[in-house]
Amino acid sequence: MPGLRFPVLQLASICLLSGLLASTSVFASEPDPVAERMLQAQTASGGWPKHLAGKAVDYARPFDAAASAALARSGRPDDATIDNDATTREIVHLAGALQRSGDSRYRDAALRGVDYLLAAQYANGGWPQFHPDRSGYRAQVTFNDDAMTQVVGLLQDIAEGRGDVAGLAPLRGEAARAAVDRAIALIVSLQVRIDGVPTIWAAQYDETTLVPATARKYEPPSLASGESVAIVRLLMRQPAPSPAIIDAIERACTWFGAHALTDIAIERDEASEGRPRDVRLIARPGARLWARFYDLERQQPLLVDRSGDIVASLADMSHERRTGYAWYGVWPARLLDQDLPAWRQRLATAHASAWHR
C-alpha cells in the first residue's frame, strides 16, 4: 500500500531527528566551570590537593593568579590527598557533570580519581592521608576529619551504583567493592579495646603497627568521638552485616552512651567590638555533650594545647586553640537517638524475612 510509506518514513525521520537533537543537546551544553577547574587541579597521580598557593582550593570562582601560577609551575609537587574532602568531592562532582554533559573528559578525570584511591589503599585495607607523599603523619591510616570514612563511602556508592557516581559502576564497581571489603574488615579490627572491652576508634593509626598514633602535637593517640560516629554510620550501611560488624556497632554505641557528659553544654561568644569570640562549658540541665578526644587509659576528656601540653579544662587552654578547634560537640546524639533504633529495626526486619523464606 504505497500510501502508507510516506507517513512511516516521515515518522522514522522525525524520530531519528529528535534523537540526534537530543544527543546534540547533551553534548552542546555549556562546560561546567567547577568541573573545568577540577580538571586543571588534578595531580599527576590522579588525586587532588586541598591547597593551592597556600590557600584552600575554591572551585566556586576562577583561580587567582597565585593558584594559576602554582598549577602551571614546571615540576609541580604532587600533593594529592583525601583530607578536607579533597579527591572524593572532585570525583562526585565530575561524575555528576558527566551525567549532565556527556563530556568524556569528566569521565576520564573521575576514573583517574577512582584509580588514585584504589592505588593509594594499603594492603591492610587502610588509606594514608596523603599519597604519593607519605612523609610524616601523612602516611598514617587516617580517620581524622572523616578522611578514610568518606573514601570508603564513595567507593561503596560506586560499587552499588548509587547517586552521581552510578555511571562509574560498570567500569570500577568490582574493584571498588573489593576495596570496601578490605577497608571494613580493617575498621572492625581497629576498634580500640581497653582492658579487653571494645570502645570506639582513634583518629589515626600507625600504618604498619596499626596502633593509635600522634598526628599534630595537639592530636595525640586517643579515642575520637566525632570520627567514630561517622565510622559507626558506615558500618550500619553494610548489607547483611557480619556478627563482628554488628558487635562493633553495638559496643561503640554502648560506649557513647556511657561517656556522655550530662547537664553540660557549650556556650559560644561571637566576636564583638573590642572583644574576641570565645568558648566555654556551662551547666544546662538535660543537655548532653561529648569531648572530641578521650584518653586511652581513663577514657576521660582529653584537651591538648597547640604546644602538645595536656590541660585540665577549656579555660586553661590558649585562646587560639580554645576557639579554633571543636573540643566538644553533640556528634553521637543523633546516632544514639535516631540512627541506632532505625538500624536495629532494619536488622530485625531482615532477619525475620530471612527466617520466613
Q: What is the pLDDT of residue 352?
A: 81
Closest residue by Cα to residue 218 from 310, 313, 136: 310
Is the overall model pTM greater than 0.85, yes or no?
Answer: yes
pLDDT in tens, 66-122: 999 999 999 999 999 999 999 999 999 999 999 999 999 999 999 999 999 999 999
pLDDT tens column, 294-324: 999 999 999 999 999 999 999 999 999 999 8
Pick the catalytic residue: 76, 100, 162, 216? 216
Residue 234 near residue 152, CB atoms below 8 Å: yes
The pLDDT assigned to 30 comes to: 82
Active site residue 144: no
Task: Please tell me the predicted confidence (pLDDT) of residue 356.
Answer: 60
197 membership: H or E segment, kind and range: strand 197-198
CA distances from 334 to 253, 288, 330 (A): 11, 11, 8
The pLDDT of residue 21 is 34
Q: Which stretches of the chain score pLDDT less than 50? A: 1-26, 28
Residue type, 331: W
- Asked if 129 contacts 203 with a C-beta cutoff of 8 angstroms, the reply is no
Q: What is the pLDDT of residue 271?
A: 77
Give the model's pLDDT for residue 71: 97
- In degrees and rounded to multiples of 5, residue 205 shows phi and psi of -130, 145
Considering the candidates 84, 124, 251, 321, report the single residue annotated as catalytic.
84
Q: So what's the pLDDT on residue 292?
A: 96
| Annotation marks residue 172 as catalytic | no
The candidate with the shortest Cα–Cα distance to 117, out of 189, 69, 165, 74, is 165
